[in-house]
Amino acid sequence: MISRELAVRLREAGLVWRPAAGDRFQLLQQDMESTGTELFTVSDMTIEAHQYPTGTVLGFNGTTEWALDSVALEDALWFPREDQLREALRGTFVGLDRTDDGTWRVTTVFLGERREHVADTAEDAYGFAVLAEVDATR
């Protein structure tokens, strides 16, 4: 899973989230007794994404831990999975490999330029590659 810091940077850069089953997120502002690091997963059974003309709302179905019916998408921080980050790179993705020092490197070709993004985990390397592309297109 990508780091919270990287998830925040991707959000701030404008990476668009269209919630689907299996997506993980945290609430940006938690008024409950948790530490603010509780991770939720979108599921057709417990947490569903509801589309309304005013925006997307994540509905909590039958939660018993604390009283929360729904939360606006803007109030949730998405943690994209490795496959979602790779998909976000679309045709720019060239490869993923492990470096000699044990870190992970994602190679892309973006706007005709070969780029390498290195991180301690494969997920973060993908995340940094997506972040670079999103930043470059803003």
Q: What residue ranges define each of the domains in the chain, with the CATH number in brackets?
A: 18-79 (no CATH), 82-137 (3.30.160)
Q: Taking the CB of residue 21, how many other CB atoms lie within 10 A of it?
A: 12
By mean pLDDT, which of 26-30, 68-72, 90-94, 102-106 is the weakest? 68-72
- pLDDT at residue 64 in the model: 46
**Nearest alpha carbon to residue 41 among 76, 89, 93, 90:** 76
For residue 4, is pLDDT > 90?
Answer: yes
The predicted model gives 21-31 an average pLDDT of 82
